[in-house]
Every structure is written in C-alpha cells, then in structure tokens.
Structure 1
Amino acid sequence: MSPWTAQHVAAIRDDEAALPRIALADVARVSATIDIWDAWPVQDADGRPSALAGDATLWMALASPRFPDPDERHGHARIHLFRKDAGGWTHLGPAMPDGFSPGSREWSGSAVLGEDRRTLTLYFTATGLRGEPAPTFAQRIYRAEASLRAADANGPVFEDWRGLTELFVEDPRWYMASDAGSGSVGTIKAFRDPAFFQDPATGQRYLTFAGSDACSPSAFNGLVGLAVAQDDANRSWAIQPPIVTAAGLNNELERPHLIYQGGAYYLFWSTQRHVFDPAGPTGPTGLYGMVADRVEGPWAPLNGSGLVLANPAEAPAQGYSWLVLPDLTVISFIDNWGPPAADEPRRFGATFAPEVQLVLDGATARRKA
C-alpha cells in the first residue's frame, strides 16, 4: 500500500493547477426540476464512452429533486440516465426502477456495456437501507444487469433489471466499517464509488473504490481500495489490500479510478480541502493522482504532490467530482460557483461543468492549454 503523505501535500503549488473560473455562461442546467452531481459514462470495457447511433453516448449521474438547501440532495440521491449528443444533454429519468435498489440512496459507481451492445452491468453504491426511517450511512457495493432498449420517442432506456448482487464486504484487516463515522459532512467513512477498469496489458478486470483505513488511529484515514474479478462474466469479485492510503492526512479519496496511458497506470481521485487534517498541510479541492508500473503499485504522486487540477483561489468550491476518460478528457460538475442570490444558501450549479483536457507525461500531469 502506497502512502499519500503530508510531505507530498506540502509540495503543492495550486496556482499551477488552477482551473479557469466558471462563469454564468457555463452554467447550462440539464433540467429545471433536478440537481445533478457525480457523473460517469456508460462505457465499453476499455473505458471509452459507448458510442450509439449518431455518435450519441449515454451517461449516468447522481440526481435529486431541487431543494432550497442543496445539501439536502445527498439524502435523496438516485442514479439517473442522460443522453449526450451534438444537441447537448437530455435527461432520461432514473436509471433503475423504483424499489429495485436495496439502499435508501444510490451513490456513485460505473457502468459497462457488453460486447453484444445490449447488456449493461452497473456497479454502484447502495447507501442506507430501503425504507429506513432516517438516513444511515452504511455503504455496500452492488452489481446489477439490465438490457438496453433501442431508442424510441422517450430515448434509449435500460429495462429488465436483474441479478442484483452485493459483490464483497469490508475485510476488517484493511477496511473500516463504512458506518463507523458520524453523519456530518467531512466525517463520513467510505466503502463506495466502484469504478471498473480492464487492464489492456493483461485483460484482468478491477474495481477501485473509496474506503477508510482500519489500521490508522487517525480520524483522517481515507484510502483507495481494490477488488479483482474472479470469473469471465465479472459476477464474482475478491477484495484485495488497499493500494493507496492517506492515513493521517485526508478522510476521503472519492471516486478513485484508473486509466492506462503510454505503458503506465494512472490513478485519480477527488477530494476537498475541508477533509484534510486541519493540523496541515492541506491541499485545495481538486483532482489528485498517482502513477505506477502496475495496478498493485507502488504508486508515486503525480507532479510530486499528487495535485493535478484545482479550483481557483477566488472560487475554491466551484467544481467537484472530476473523472478522467481514456482520451484524457476530464468531466466534473458545477458546485458552489459564485456569490449566492439573496434567497439562496449558496449558488449551486447542479449541472455539468465545462470539460478540460489533460496532458500526461510520465509522472507529470497538467491541463492542456
């Protein structure tokens, strides 16, 4: 397990990683009735968004009804389906039918379309328990399948949901129970965000996920977990030791995911300034990453510090939940992007952020100018 340490974070120069400031012209809502945040494509096994007719792609994102306080969305999160084409984004509704998921909320994951171009496998986080009177924070990693129905007047949809299976549970040798923390922002422990990766060099399939280090006495004990497929159908998975730990530094390494470029493996995750140990040093809210010669590591921080992209100092929470695609396009969502109106607790964008492009060169990563 490779450490991400205070010494690495102390080397950050976030002015070099700062993203452009989001402006009003960038805030194009997908829907007037829902807020969206964490997003991922319906992908091929190699990680690329699956192309449909007309070069359209399908995406999933967490969504909820709009609330006066945007933080309320987390207690109502469901995975919704979207179509992206030359005309922009179209909201297609919830991905899974009512009552199918075993949780009270659906949190992030990844989705893979099979070689038959019809069978979908969704890996996702079920949080809490269906029907619970108050939200709890136990997180479980599930797999389910569905069939893609050809587009009609309502757009493409997935139907015949089936095979709902919990893939693996926390191994207490490495992973803390996900309900061990409190429910307050920044203290929730993790066992969530499964991201599928097929190694092009070996064909082996992996899931990375966000976890919490059971071996650390620190309250700031985020890590990146790993599981390995045990069969060709990707129905059986075995949990592995974590690959990166931020014990003593940071509580949440969210939505970790892998890509393969130029013979090297790159691991990326998102985190926020307020989940670093306040004793310091702390980094900005941004996209972080490491590089290795193999999935199991050892991993070395990109740019010497781990920081790849950061919100600008004048808008430190303008975006979040960055996802790097195999062509090095980076997607995210617009968070607190500007001064709130008089009747708003904060100015929450609740839509897709402008895309940016990365350049990778060994252990160096930067935004393409």
Structure 2
Amino acid sequence: MTEDSLDGGAPGFRARSGWTRAQASGIERTDETVAPVFYPPENDQIPHVHIWDTWFLRERDGTLAEVEGYRVCFSLTAPADLLPGKRHDVATIRCFYSADGRNWHDAGPVFEEALGQRQWAGSALYDDGSVYVFYTAAGQDDAEELTYAQRIVGAGGGTIDADGGFALRGPWTHHELLSPDGERYEREDQSRGMIYTFRDPWFFEDPETGETWLLFEANSPVPEGSDACDGDVAQQEFNGSVGVARSPTGDPLEWELDDPLLDAVGTNQELERPHVVYRDGRYYLFVSSHLHTFAPGLEGFDALYGFVAEDFRGEYVPLNGSGLVVTNPENAPFQSYSWMAFAHGDEVLVQSFFNYFDFAGPVLDDIAHLSEAEQMRRFGGTLAPTLRLDVDGTRTRIIGKLGHWEIPMAGESLPPTEAELIRRAREDDGAGASERYHGGSDD
C-alpha cells in the first residue's frame, strides 16, 4: 500500500463524516489527478441526441450487468439541435445497449410517461430478471412554468427482451420513494444557497452486511444563528451532503430516510451523483462537483472527488489528502463532467460525458457569451473516453484511458498501460544488454 492509514477523518455537521475546509484547501492539480486532453470522437455513435449524465444497469452486488450478452446503460438526453445550455429543461432518460462494450445503439426513451416535468440522473438495478430505474423527478407535474422541486422516484416493471435483438419493455409503475424531511435534508423552501439539491438516487447493497441503501445528493439544513463554520453565514450557505435511505426489507421500492453519510457544510454546496465502489474490504465514496460550488476562500475544480472508509457508514477520509481524484487539464477545464467509477479487474474505471471542449474560460457561464453556433460546436454531448484509475489504499492515480463509449465486458483484459509498456521495454533492453555482456548473444 502506498498510503494505508485511514486516520484524519473528521465529524461532519450532522453526518458521521465531513469534508472539511482544511482538507479541501489542499486541492491542486497533479500528474496523478489530471486527465489527458480529450478530442472529439471520429464517429459520433449517437448523433441525434445530446447525451450527458450516464449510468449502467447493475446487479445487486454492484457489478455491471450483462443481460443476454448485452451491456445496458441509461443517459439523460435532449435533441441534438437544442442549445446545450437548455438541455436540462427537457431532459429525457434513454436506454442504450452494446454487445461488445464499444459499439452502442439507441433503444429509445425509457418511459412514455414519468413523474416530474423532466427527469434527472439516477441509477438502475437488474434483479432476478426485473429492471428498476431510480431517477430524479424535477419540477411539479402540474406546474405551468418550470419549477425545481426534486423528488426521488423508483420505477419498477421493466424487462429486457433479447429475442432477435434488444428491447427494454414495461409496463412501468412509478413510485415516489423519498422527499426531504426538513431536518436531516433541506427542503426547497429552506434553501438559502445558490443551488438546491435532493436528487441522483444510487442503489447500493453492502457486500459485508447485506443491507440495502439508496444514496442521493442533498443539502444539510443549517439553522440561522448556528455556530457551524464559526458563525460565518456566507460559508453556512454551502451545505452539500451525501444522503442515504435504507430499505428494511431489501425491496428496491421501499425506503426509509437515514442520517447523512457525509456532509461538506462550509466547504461545498453540491456533491453530485454520489456512488460507492467496494474493493479490498473498503468503501470508496465518489462525488462530482464544480469549481463554482466551493465556499468562499476555497478553490476547487470541476472534478471527481473521493473518500474512503472501512465501514459503509464511515468515518470517511478524503482520497489523496484533499479528495481530488480526477479533474480536467488546466487548458480544457470543462472538457468532461459527471464521472461514474466502477471496478474492473484490478482497476477502477471512470466514465463521464464529453462536455465543453476547446474552451478555457475562467467559468463555464462564459460559454453563453459565444454565438449559438460556437456553443454547439464546442459541446461534446456524448460519452468521454473512459479513464483507468489505480486505487491503492487512500491514494489514487490515473494510469491511462480507453476510447469514447468504451466500457469493457466482464472478464475482458485491458491493454497494457503506457507505463507498463515502458517497463517491459526496459526489462527487454536490460535482458539484451545482459546477454551481450555475458556472451550469450548470437551477434
């Protein structure tokens, strides 16, 4: 192990673990955390829609499902001719499938009707032949204008028909699973921050205990006059948290709110798409966040951040000291976002979507200053190259990448990394030199 100690965890505001200002103040780009520059794919596999937040159909044990030889994923989508900045207002969940993990096909929208004015990110479970899709219902169903209320929804009743092709079928039943209680998780009317969140449900069954959990992104209520953040009101408004609910029976559609897993009160407002990778007896908790959601006095990036604990409930400590795991290069700070990590053999792979490339403005809002044609040109709107991550105790490092949309099938060996090829070449050179020195060469 490069660094094995899990010491250094700190209690959160109302969670067992917290991401502190002191920890986040150490965020900096390093060779181990900066992704290479990405370029557009030679062939856009799904050109008719913008594609962003993506998740894979998974088994209860967390492995990526293969159903009748198919990998299956779900993505938020919008028509490709829509200005990218408007896509969240019309987001629709679509299903994609692949027989080789490289060439993907569109199975169409998942739901004919769903809860909310539009649907945001979630997760999907394949359990004993049934498909469950967890998603965020954004906006009130009957409102005439767009609203931003958020509820966590589970849809059951899905099945996969692979006779003569691939089809995801219903009929689906949609169940409102969770809404904020106002005590552990902030309601929209309590929000004082720049962003309100109660979304991104992610299913997880603990392999150690068998307990079934649903993680989600939330905000922790900080009462006015609280001594949190030493009474600094500006910092208190940055109150992101990772919430959890537990299923008492393991039923994917039955949940009870539990205390937050981790919070970032005084540090960060938005801990998006929380998810866990279990490996080597440890729980690796990952979230995505933006540079603009860090509290005053802190500087971060659009990046994947991570934490590790020896128990699902914590205490969690930040990976690499600060929490930074993967970020974009300085000259392409918004090239990808919405990272999702999953185990593959001895590595952890990280997929994301290809966001705004060829743009190095100080903040992403500056993209709106460009012409609509330039905004369209600079938006990737597809999956980014998959990153390869070495995870060793409390340390991580990027060791390579695969192609756009490349998600290896179960048991598929990965090509040697550049570092591995260099090591082999040096070993071969050394062996040759030794043979020549000892007269073992035919030359």
What is the TM-score with the length of structure 2 in the denominator?
Answer: 0.77
User: CA deviation digits over 1:29-63, x for unaligned, max 9?
Assistant: 33222101000011111111111233x21100001
Paired position in structure 1 for 2:441: none
User: CA deviation digits over 1:62-108, x for unaligned, max 9?
Assistant: 011134521100000111100123351111111112x2x12001111
List runs of 5+ in structure 2 lacking aligned partners.
1-14, 224-232, 360-366, 401-443
Paired position in structure 2 for 1:301: 318
Paired position in structure 2 for 1:223: 241
Given that residues 15 and 312 in structure 1 are in contact (C-alpha distance below 8 angstroms), is that contact kept between their aligned partners in structure 2? no
User: CA deviation digits over 1:145-199, x for unaligned, max 9?
Assistant: 123242356632122112x2111221222211146558xxx92211000101111
Given that residues 179 and 189 in structure 1 are in contact (C-alpha distance below 8 angstroms), is that contact kept between their aligned partners in structure 2? no
**3-state SS in 2 of match to 1:344:** helix
Q: Could you tell me which of 280, 289, 301 is aligned with 1:284?
A: 301
User: CA deviation digits over 1:296-327, x for unaligned, max 9?
Assistant: 11110011100000011000000000001132
Paired position in structure 2 for 1:265: 283
* Identical-pair percentage: 35
Paired position in structure 2 for 1:92: 107
Which consecutive segments of 4 or more residues in structure 1 shift more than 6 A? none
How many angstroms apart in 1 are the aligned matches of 2:96 and 2:212?
Answer: 26
How many angstroms apart in 2 are the aligned matches of 1:110 and 1:194?
Answer: 6
Which structure: larger Rg?
2
Q: In proportion to residue count, which structure has more strand?
A: 1
Paired position in structure 1 for 2:207: 200
Given that residues 244 and 261 in structure 2 are in contact (C-alpha distance below 8 angstroms), is that contact kept between their aligned partners in structure 1? yes
Given that residues 270 and 286 in structure 1 are in contact (C-alpha distance below 8 angstroms), is that contact kept between their aligned partners in structure 2? yes
Paired position in structure 1 for 2:340: 323
Given that residues 178 and 212 in structure 1 are in contact (C-alpha distance below 8 angstroms), is that contact kept between their aligned partners in structure 2? no
Given that residues 27 and 299 in structure 2 are in contact (C-alpha distance below 8 angstroms), is that contact kept between their aligned partners in structure 1? no
Residue 80 of structure 1 pairs with residue 100 of structure 2:
no
| Cα distance change of structure 1 residues 345 and 173 upon mapping to structure 2, 3 Å threshold | same
**3-state SS in 1 of match to 2:86:** helix
How many angstroms apart in 1 are the aligned matches of 2:110 and 2:165?
Answer: 13
Pairs aligned (count): 358
Structure 1 residue 237 displacement after superposition: 0.9
Given that residues 67 and 73 in structure 1 are in contact (C-alpha distance below 8 angstroms), is that contact kept between their aligned partners in structure 2? no
How many angstroms apart in 1 are the aligned matches of 2:221 and 2:145?
Answer: 26
Paired position in structure 1 for 2:182: 172
Paired position in structure 1 for 2:127: 114
Paired position in structure 1 for 2:405: none
Residue 255 of structure 1 pairs with residue 273 of structure 2:
yes
Q: Could you tell me which of 380, 384, 408 is aligned with 1:353?
A: 384
Residue 211 of structure 1 pairs with residue 221 of structure 2:
no
Residue 239 of structure 1 pairs with residue 257 of structure 2:
yes
Partner amino acid for 1:23? Answer: Y
Q: Which moved more, 1:258-267 or 1:65-74?
A: 65-74
| Cα distance change of structure 1 residues 61 and 178 upon mapping to structure 2, 3 Å threshold | farther
Paired position in structure 1 for 2:331: 314
List runs of 5+ in structure 1 lacking aligned partners.
none
| Cα distance change of structure 1 residues 350 and 166 upon mapping to structure 2, 3 Å threshold | same
Structure 1 residue 111 displacement after superposition: 0.6
**Aligned 1:41-52 pairs, distance under 5 A:** 41-52=56-67
Paired position in structure 2 for 1:104: 117
Q: Could you tell me which of 15, 21, 25 is aligned with 2:37?
A: 21
Partner amino acid for 2:273? Answer: R
| Cα distance change of structure 1 residues 349 and 179 upon mapping to structure 2, 3 Å threshold | farther
How many angstroms apart in 2 are the aligned matches of 1:335 and 1:190?
Answer: 21
How many angstroms apart in 2 are the aligned matches of 1:179 and 1:72?
Answer: 24
Given that residues 135 and 152 in structure 2 are in contact (C-alpha distance below 8 angstroms), is that contact kept between their aligned partners in structure 1? yes
Structure 1 residue 14 displacement after superposition: 1.2
Given that residues 238 and 267 in structure 2 are in contact (C-alpha distance below 8 angstroms), is that contact kept between their aligned partners in structure 1? yes
How many angstroms apart in 1 are the aligned matches of 2:35 and 2:50?
Answer: 23
Given that residues 272 and 285 in structure 1 are in contact (C-alpha distance below 8 angstroms), is that contact kept between their aligned partners in structure 2? yes
**3-state SS in 1 of match to 2:286:** strand
Q: Could you tell me which of 36, 59, 63 is aligned with 2:77?
A: 63
How many angstroms apart in 1 are the aligned matches of 2:85 and 2:59?
Answer: 33
How many angstroms apart in 1 are the aligned matches of 2:42 and 2:302?
Answer: 20
How many angstroms apart in 1 are the aligned matches of 2:188 and 2:64?
Answer: 30
RMSD: 2.0
Residue 9 of structure 1 pairs with residue 39 of structure 2:
no
Partner amino acid for 1:220? Answer: F
**3-state SS in 2 of match to 1:304:** coil
Partner amino acid for 2:138? Answer: T
Partner amino acid for 1:175? Answer: Y
Given that residues 120 and 145 in structure 1 are in contact (C-alpha distance below 8 angstroms), is that contact kept between their aligned partners in structure 2? yes
How many angstroms apart in 1 are the aligned matches of 2:374 and 2:82?
Answer: 7
Partner amino acid for 1:207? Answer: L
